[in-house]
Amino acid sequence: MDISSFLIPEAPPSIFYIPNFVTESEEEYIINRVNTAPKPKWTQLRNRRLQNWGGIPHPNGMIVEEIPQWLKLFLNKVDDLKLYEKGNLKANHVLVNEYLPGQGIMAHVDGPLFYPTIITISCGSHTILNFQKQKDIDKETYTEESKKLSILLERRSLIAVMDSMYTDYLHEIEEKTEDKLNDSIVNINKTKYSINDCLKRDTRISLTIRHVPKLSKIKLPFLMKKK
């Protein structure tokens, strides 16, 4: 796949958007696997719940956990895009988020624990991902002159956020049950929708796929091979 054809030139460097990255049957498979995961894998937050696969990132190094084979299928598909250090690095962590209609996530940056490329696959529903440049990364405050730009994430699509879009821009999902599309959506010409369309949200499952560079040498007992 020639990834360069999926670059969004209207956004600062660099965002890639690939519609229909997974098929309808793959989407159904992902949703089923996520929904049938063991209950202890879910962490309930105020406005959504999530699953961690691969380990919990930590400044001292992520304690590696085995990623299940069903998820590895999609990590391999992402690795084929060669977005992590031109293919020299592989994805080793997946954060699964479940967003019900009306749920979102506050403006934030993903920080230095990850290689500065974040790849997300959306299943079950669209959403709108907003970006706004920040004046001070540590304090996470917006510049007054910065203009918010938005990306429409369709069902089964993939977005890759890289370079200054990763380091210098906050991103958020507003808590809405529907979205009226407007001219702040810079990838509208890469979607099947038009300005002024109104889209109702459904339950969205997102796979946020990352490379964690720093790994702990500690191995969890249940992952150690029996001698």
How far, in Å, CA of 72 to CA of 83, rounded? Answer: 16
Q: Is the pLDDT of residue 226 over 60?
A: no
Q: What is the pLDDT of residues 113-159, one digit of tens each?
A: 999 999 999 999 999 999 999 864 445 554 444 578 999 999 999 99
C-alpha closest to that of 128 among 179, 195, 182, 204: 179
pLDDT recorded at residue 106: 94
pLDDT band of residue 40 (cuts 50, 70, 90) is very high
pLDDT at site 76: 97
- Angstrom distance (rounded) from CA 193 to CA 155: 12
Rg (alpha carbons) of the chain, rounded to whole number: 17
* Structure token pair of residue 49: 């719940």
Q: Cα separation of 91 and 84, whole Å?
A: 8
Strands 127-136 and 42-44 turn out to be unpaired
Where residue 221 falls (left for φ over 0; alpha for ψ -120 to 50; beta otherwise) is alpha
As a dihedral over the C-alpha atoms of residue 163, residue 164, residue 170, residue 174, rounded to 10 degrees, the angle is: -60
Question: pLDDT: is 187 or 1 the higher one?
Answer: 187
pLDDT band of 224, cuts 50, 70, 90:
very low
Average pLDDT, the chain: 91
pTM of the model: 0.91
Residue 178 per-residue DSSP state = E
Residue 205 φ/ψ, nearest 5 degrees: -110, 120
